[in-house]
């Protein structure tokens, strides 16, 4: 080999060696850790957005469902992960707003131990009841429940989750004595609703819709804006003034995630949420796409956390079981 060729090869070697880690990084999948099981609203929204993120990042994006314990194990998994952009927390109000309000001594700090990346979507909560309950309106359900103090229950995806506190808020404002029954995910509550062992559930339209279509449960009202999946539902605030509850979906990384990684992930996530085809799919789940940055996510999580914290401090609320 000529001397000039050897010198050119030697000069190129450092550049190639520096490029190898970047290429290896892009070939490795980004893991979206979810605090709920497959089949729920969080899983459905994540699976709509993951392909759009993968396309924009140029690397695979995989879903890692880690349900149970109010999302604490899933959150800890992300907190312990390297801040390399390969492990992200695709989560909701339950872990970053409701959970800290109920359990202030969590094994992590939801502000300090996570890097907010993007606010992606919201969904309103529906009041869903078992078809064994003889109520056709919110008012009729309240009257029925008031006649049975301590005998009417509602299910949720776990202690300290947003569906749990939504039920506690509804019961407090409607002056009902309802018993909370926690599960590992709202999907598990439907079998109990069908049998009549659970009377009510606050759930999102995407999870509730197929069960409503089967006729085994009924939706009585919506806690936010009207949803196209279940059109014509009255606002729950008409029967229970002051009641409103929606869930947000957001993306966090571990603490100390480098700014360049945050920017790259933010652009991919927001780009997916704003993609017309994916927006249509999200709307089909009853979700309202947002596509806002990490600061917007931090603000909405903090505001919701303050709201739930005020709720659980009310001496009339039992939000710890």
Check residues 171 and 20 and name the one with the higher pLDDT.
Answer: 171
Q: Which is nearest to 246 in space by CA: 317, 300, 320, 282? A: 300
Domain count, the chain: 2
Is 321 a member of any domain?
no
Same domain, 233 and 270: no
d(CA 320, CA 296): 29
Among 214, 245, 276, the domain boundary falls at 245
Domain boundary pick from 245, 267, 284? 245
**In which band, very low, low, confident or very high, does the pLDDT at 26 lie, cut at 50, 70 and 90?**
low
Cα atoms in the Cβ-side hemisphere of radius 13 Å centred on 52? 24
Give the residue numbers spanning the domain of 286. Answer: 6-123+247-311
**231 and 306 fall within a common domain:** no
Q: What is the pTM of this model?
A: 0.82
Q: Kindly tell me the burial class for residue 234, based on how many C-beta atoms sit within 10 Å of its own C-beta (0-12, 13-18, 19 or more).
A: middle
Residue 108: CB atoms within 10 A of its CB come to 18
pLDDT of 196 reads 95
Token pair belonging to 73: 């194990």
Please check whether residues 236 and 299 belong to one and the same domain: no
Residue 238 sits in a domain whose CATH number is 3.40.190.10
In angstroms, what CA-CA distances link 22 with 53, 59, 212, 292? Answer: 18, 12, 48, 27
| 23 has a pLDDT exceeding 90 | no
The structure tokens 């009207």 sit at 226
pLDDT at 221 exceeding the cut of 60: yes
Q: Given a cut of 80, is residue 224 above it in pLDDT?
A: yes
pLDDT value for 311: 85
d(CA 13, CA 8): 9
Whether residue 147 sits in one domain with residue 114: no
pLDDT of residue 185: 77
Which DSSP symbol is given to 95?
A: I
**Distance (Å, rounded) from C-alpha 149 to C-alpha 164?**
18
Determine the Cα–Cα distance for residues 85 and 67; give it in Å rounded to an integer: 22
Q: What is the CATH number of the domain that holds 19?
A: 3.40.190.150
pLDDT at 188: 84
Domain-embedded: residue 320: no
Helix 41-57 × helix 276-284 angle, to 10° = 170
Inform me whether the pLDDT recorded for 118 exceeds 80: yes
Task: Say if residue 199 is in the same domain as residue 213.
Answer: yes
Residues 6+ apart with CB under 8 A from 15: none
Comparing CA positions, the residue from 53, 70, 69 lying closest to residue 61 is 53
Read off the pLDDT of each residue in 83-109 and give the average, rounded to a whole number: 94
Q: Give the per-residue pLDDT at 229.
A: 83
Same domain? For 132 and 238 the reply is yes
109 token code pair: 């700090």
The mean-pLDDT minimum among 105-119, 156-170, 294-308 falls in 156-170
Residues 261, 167 share a domain: no
Question: Mean pLDDT across the stretch 296-303?
Answer: 97
Measure the CA–CA gap between 102 and 319, rounded to whole angstroms. 7
Which of helix, strand or coil describes residue 2? coil
Q: Note whether 51 and 106 are same-domain residues.
A: yes
Phi, psi (5° rounding) for residue 123?
-145, 145
DSSP element (H, E) containing 81: none
Are 107 and 253 within one domain? Answer: yes
Query: Domain end: 219, 245, 271, which one?
Result: 245
Lowest mean pLDDT across 123-137, 177-191, 255-269: 177-191
Between CA 163 and CA 203 the distance in angstroms is 7
User: Using CA atoms, how far apart are residues 287 and 49, in angstroms rounded to an integer?
Assistant: 12
Domain shared by 268 and 236, yes or no: no
Are residues 60 and 147 both part of a single domain? no
pLDDT value, residue 3: 44
In a domain, residue 55? The reply is: yes
Q: Is residue 306 part of a domain?
A: yes
**Per mean pLDDT, which of 23-27, 133-137, 281-285 is the most reliable?**
133-137
Angle between helices 205-214 and 41-57 (to 10 degrees): 130
Distance CA 126, CA 201 (A): 8
Does the residue 1 lie in any domain? no
Strand-by-strand arrangement of the 178-182 sheet: 178-182, 152-156, 200-203, 126-130, 217-222
Q: Is the pLDDT of residue 101 over 50?
A: yes
State the Cα–Cα distance between residues 133 and 152, nearest whole angstrom. 10
What is the C-alpha to C-alpha distance for residues 78 and 268, in angstroms, rounded to an integer? Answer: 19
Residue pair 184/218 in contact (Cβ under 8 Å)? The answer is no
pLDDT greater than 60 at residue 22:
no
Q: 318 falls in which pLDDT band (50, 70, 90)? A: low
Provide the pLDDT confidence category of residue 303 given band limits of 50, 70 and 90. very high
47 in the same domain as 128: no
Q: Do the domain assignments include residue 319?
A: no
Q: What letter would DSSP give residue 221?
A: E
């Amino acid at each position: 080999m000529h001397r000039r060729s050897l010198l050119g090869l030697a000069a190129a070697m450092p550049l190639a060696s520096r490029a190898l880690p970047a290429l290896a990084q892009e070939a490795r999948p980004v893991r979206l850790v979810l605090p709920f099981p497959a089949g729920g609203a969080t899983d459905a929204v994540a699976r709509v957005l993951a392909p759009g993120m993968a396309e924009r990042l140029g690397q695979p994006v995989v879903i890692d469902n880690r349900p149970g314990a109010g999302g604490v194990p899933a959150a800890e998994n992300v907190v312990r992960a390297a801040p390399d952009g390969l492990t992200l927390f695709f989560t909701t109000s339950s872990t970053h707003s409701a959970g800290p309000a109920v359990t202030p001594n969590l094994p992590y700090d939801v502000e300090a131990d996570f890097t907010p990346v993007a606010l992606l979507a919201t969904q309103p909560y529906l009041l869903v009841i078992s078809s064994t309950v003889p109520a056709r309106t919110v008012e009729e359900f309240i009257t029925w429940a008031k006649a049975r103090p301590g005998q009417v229950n509602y299910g949720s995806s776990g202690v300290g989750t947003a569906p749990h506190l939504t039920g506690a808020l509804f019961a407090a404002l409607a002056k009902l004595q309802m018993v909370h029954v926690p599960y590992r995910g709202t999907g598990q509550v439907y079998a109990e609703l069908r049998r009549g062992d659970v009377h009510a559930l606050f759930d999102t339209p995407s999870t509730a819709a197929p069960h409503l279509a089967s006729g085994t449960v009924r939706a009585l009202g919506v806690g936010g804006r009207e949803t196209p999946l279940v059109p014509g539902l009255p606002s729950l605030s008409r029967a229970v003034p002051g009641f409103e509850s929606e869930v947000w979906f957001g993306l966090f990384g571990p603490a100390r995630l480098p700014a360049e990684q945050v920017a790259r992930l933010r652009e991919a996530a927001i780009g997916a949420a704003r993609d017309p085809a994916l927006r249509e799919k999200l709307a089909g789940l009853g979700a309202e796409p947002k596509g806002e940055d990490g600061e917007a996510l931090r603000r909405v999580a903090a505001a919701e956390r303050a709201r739930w914290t005020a709720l659980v401090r009310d001496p009339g609320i039992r939000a710890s079981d």
